[in-house]
Amino acid sequence: MLRISKLTDYGTLVLTHMANFPDRLFSASDLAGTLGLGAPTVSKVLKSLGRHDLVRSVRGLHGGYALSRPAVQISVAQIVDALEEQPFGLTECSASSGLCDFESGCRVRANWQRINGVVRRALEDVSLADMVSPLPMVAGSDARPMTGPQSIKGRIAPDQESAR
């Protein structure tokens, strides 16, 4: 555990891509094709993002999605909030109270909440713009597929652990 869900991962991917072309409308199937994800899945992600006002949608023929505000104003924390189902928190009792009879005297809980705060702040400090940063693609060249977990079926044995 301690993972974000795949939907959240897809979300960052989709939003990152959209951030490269702030003025264009993307249909769900467009994005699915470009990013190598399933069309219904992308649709689902975009719907959730829309409910949380991270993207705006245009309905009808030639409709689609675009970022609802500049990428600098969208934080990773907001993406997580939009796509994770359970409320933010490393433990159940750090996300909501009333779960356990000893809350008042529970040191452990208080400390998990503190840790929680640090993690959350880390996510708030990274914006979508940061995720795109130094390599904006040339407008119009939409063909290059980006990386995405779903597109990988044959998983190779991990040969390395990164950030220990």
Partner DNA sequence: ATAAACGGTACTCTTTTAGTACTATTTAAG
Partner DNA sequence: CTTAAATAGTACTAAAAGAGTACCGTTTAT
Binding site for DNA (CB under 7 A): 1, 3, 5-7, 10, 26-29, 38, 40-41, 43-44, 46-47, 50-51, 57-65, 85-86, 150
SS (H, E, C) 29-72: HHHHHHHCCCHHHHHHHHHHHHHCCCEEEECCCCCEEEECCCHH
Percent helix, strand and coil across the chain, each to the nearest 5? 50, 5, 45
**Which sign does the torsion angle of CA 112, 116, 117, 119 carry?**
positive
Task: Retrieve residue 25's tokens.
Answer: 């409308």
Q: State which residue, 66 or 95, has the beta carbon closest to a copy of itself.
A: 95
Site for a copy of itself in 86-145 (CB under 8 A): 86-103, 105-109, 111-120, 122-123, 126, 130-135, 145
Of the listed pieces 40-48, 51-59, 61-69, 151-159, which binds a copy of itself according to CB under 8 A?
Answer: 151-159
Choose the contact partner of 68 out of DNA, a copy of itself, none; CB within 5 to 8 A by kind.
none
Choose the contact partner of 148 out of DNA, a copy of itself, none; CB within 5 to 8 A by kind.
a copy of itself
Chain-centre distance for alpha carbon 93? 24
Choose the contact partner of 73 out of DNA, a copy of itself, none; CB within 5 to 8 A by kind.
none
Residue 95 near residue 75 (C-beta atoms within 8 A): no
Interacting residue with a copy of itself among 12, 41, 48, 73 (CB under 8 A): 12
Task: Retrieve residue 78's tokens.
Answer: 């907001």
Tell me, by CB under 8 A, how many residues bind a copy of itself. 72
Number of residues written out for the chain: 164
